[in-house]
Amino acid sequence: MSPAFILKNGRIFDGRSFLSPGFSIVVRPPYILAITLHPPTHLPSIDLQERVVAPGFIDLQVNGGGGKYASLDPSEKSFNQILQAHLKEGTTSLLLTITSSASDTRQSALAAIRAIMSKEQSLLAGAHLEGPFLNPSKKGAHHEPWLQPPTPELLKQLANEGEDVVKIITVSPELFTSGNLDILLETGWILSAGHSTASYETAMTFFDHGGHMATHLYNTMAPVTGREPGMVTAIFEHQGARAGIIADGHHVHPAAIRLAQKVMGDRLFLVSDATFLGQKDGEVYFGPTTFRMKDGICYNQEGKLAGSSISIAQAVKYCITEAGISEVDALRMATYTPASILRTTDRIGRLGKGMLANMVILGDDWLPQKIYYQGEEVTENQP
């Protein structure tokens, strides 16, 4: 581990608000020792020249990056390549998303995630299962033959496979009975509604019954109408419902992002839904499907959006510079709120004494200029 050091003269965002000027961050890797007005004088210091320092970003929905795809190449080597691609963009904690897949692919992916988690403190926080219990009529880019109805037997099998690894599972509420939902609730996983035709009433029942989240707000959900308020309105209204949103300029209109943030406040958070971070334009072969990348946007053969090519850092920038979201709200949507969903605000998502020293130093363009993971500076040439 590197020796202790001090970050001074920065605009410190602690996860929920900006601190008043004058505070310094004292770091002894891998932890923050203190945030204080009176730092020790014997330690080396780094002058941030009034740049913003924030907790490392947290992404609860990552499908791939660096030319690797979690649901296509489920191996430790592949997953570490995805992790490094996002770490170099300022994401210091993430969930790898396993989309609807063949059972052996899912099992291999969960085994690889379990192996990596045994070595890491925070970079790989677990798995997000997106499927297979999704409504085929809202499948998006999911491969329909891999979608399955939720039977008690399959739910129990999945619960055993994902023990201690899965943190979130996306399901279509309209496919579930209360008894089948209870099987998933017993796992302690976060139940997220998505890829769904659920009515307002069905969605409210889902959230009342223990569902706590919604996957990529607005996308693969029925639109709001006067007579059919739908799942989006239920997400807005239910105070126990939180939702991720993809702020890449393609999935959701900036006005819709502003509306969601005004209505939901700190219940809204950012996800990248990144599959093709760093991918060049052209054809991408993804198992049985061929995707097409053009100008950073990916479509499947049906012309439907298929993941994104952004990082959380780019989503933060978009929210501030294009969607009219305040600096505080945009940064909180990438730090404290997702950490609170994972119930890990005692370790990540905040800057404070005893927290892991996962931090991003942001430039005037709101993109990371320097990244610290557990107090160690992340470099471009890291493997």
Q: Which two tokens stand for residue 115?
A: 């192996």
Residue 111, in any domain of the structure: yes
What pLDDT digit, counting tens, does each position of 29-61 carry?
A: 999 999 999 999 999 999 999 999 999 999 999
Amino acid at 275: T
Q: Are residues 214 and 233 in the same domain?
A: yes
- Inform me whether the pLDDT recorded for 236 exceeds 60: yes
- Inform me whether the pLDDT recorded for 299 exceeds 70: no
Residue 234, in any domain of the structure: yes
Give the residue among 216, 236, 232 at the shortest CA–CA distance from 305: 216
**Residue 197 half-sphere exposure toward CB, CA atoms < 13 A:** 6
**pLDDT computed for residue 182 by the predictor:** 96
Give the residue among 359, 353, 355 at the shortest CA–CA distance from 373: 359
- Inform me whether the pLDDT recorded for 128 exceeds 70: yes
Provide the pLDDT confidence category of residue 277 given band limits of 50, 70 and 90.
confident
**pLDDT computed for residue 260 by the predictor:** 98
Instruction: Enumerate the active-site residues.
Output: 273
CATH of the domain at 363: 2.30.40.10
Cis peptide before 21 (omega within 30 of 0): no
Burial class (CB in 10 A: 0-12, 13-18, 19+), 265: exposed
CB atoms within 10 A of CB 231: 31
Average the pLDDT over each of 159-173, 272-286, 314-328 and give the range with the smallest value. 272-286
**Residue 150 half-sphere exposure toward CB, CA atoms < 13 A:** 25
Residue 206, in any domain of the structure: yes
Residue 90, in any domain of the structure: yes
Q: Are residues 279 and 230 in the same domain?
A: yes
CB atoms within 10 A of CB 278: 16
Give the residue among 350, 356, 351, 355 at the shortest CA–CA distance from 336: 350
Q: Are residues 170 and 202 in the same domain?
A: yes
Please state the pTM of the whole predicted model.
Answer: 0.94
What pLDDT digit, counting tens, does each position of 323-377 carry?
A: 999 999 999 999 999 999 999 999 999 999 999 999 999 999 999 999 999 999 9
The answer to whether the beta carbons of residues 58 and 24 sit under 8 Å apart is no
**pLDDT computed for residue 40 by the predictor:** 95
- Inform me whether the pLDDT recorded for 147 exceeds 90: no
What pLDDT digit, counting tens, does each position of 311-334 carry?
A: 999 999 999 999 999 999 999 999
Q: Which two tokens stand for residue 359?
A: 């931090």
Percent of the chain with pLDDT over 90: 78
Residue 383, in any domain of the structure: no
Residue 224, in any domain of the structure: yes
CB atoms within 10 A of CB 222: 18
What are the beta bridge partners of residue 18?
13
Say which residues have a Cβ less than 8 Å from residue 381's Cβ, sequence separation at least 6.
none
Provide the pLDDT confidence category of residue 300 given band limits of 50, 70 and 90.
low
- Backbone φ and ψ of 11, nearest 5°: -90, 105
Q: Are residues 266 and 361 in the same domain?
A: no
Provide the pLDDT confidence category of residue 137 given band limits of 50, 70 and 90.
confident
26: containing domain: 5-54+351-377
Q: Are residues 254 and 140 in the same domain?
A: yes
Residue with tokens 């009219």: 324
Average pLDDT, the chain: 92
Q: Are residues 259 and 180 in the same domain?
A: yes
Residue 89, in any domain of the structure: yes
Q: Are residues 211 and 92 in the same domain?
A: yes
CATH of the domain at 329: 3.20.20.140
Percent of the chain with pLDDT over 70: 91
Q: Are residues 324 and 361 in the same domain?
A: no
Distance CA 340, CA 346 (A): 9
Q: Are residues 282 and 301 in the same domain?
A: yes
- Inform me whether the pLDDT recorded for 383 exceeds 60: no
Provide the pLDDT confidence category of residue 250 given band limits of 50, 70 and 90.
confident
**pLDDT computed for residue 378 by the predictor:** 96
Residue 346, in any domain of the structure: no
- Inform me whether the pLDDT recorded for 293 exceeds 90: no
Q: Which two tokens stand for residue 335?
A: 């730090």
Q: Are residues 47 and 109 in the same domain?
A: no
Q: Are residues 363 and 327 in the same domain?
A: no
Q: Which two tokens stand for residue 281?
A: 């334009």
Cis peptide before 132 (omega within 30 of 0): yes
CB atoms within 10 A of CB 321: 12
How many structural domains comprise the chain? 2
Q: Are residues 17 and 71 in the same domain?
A: no
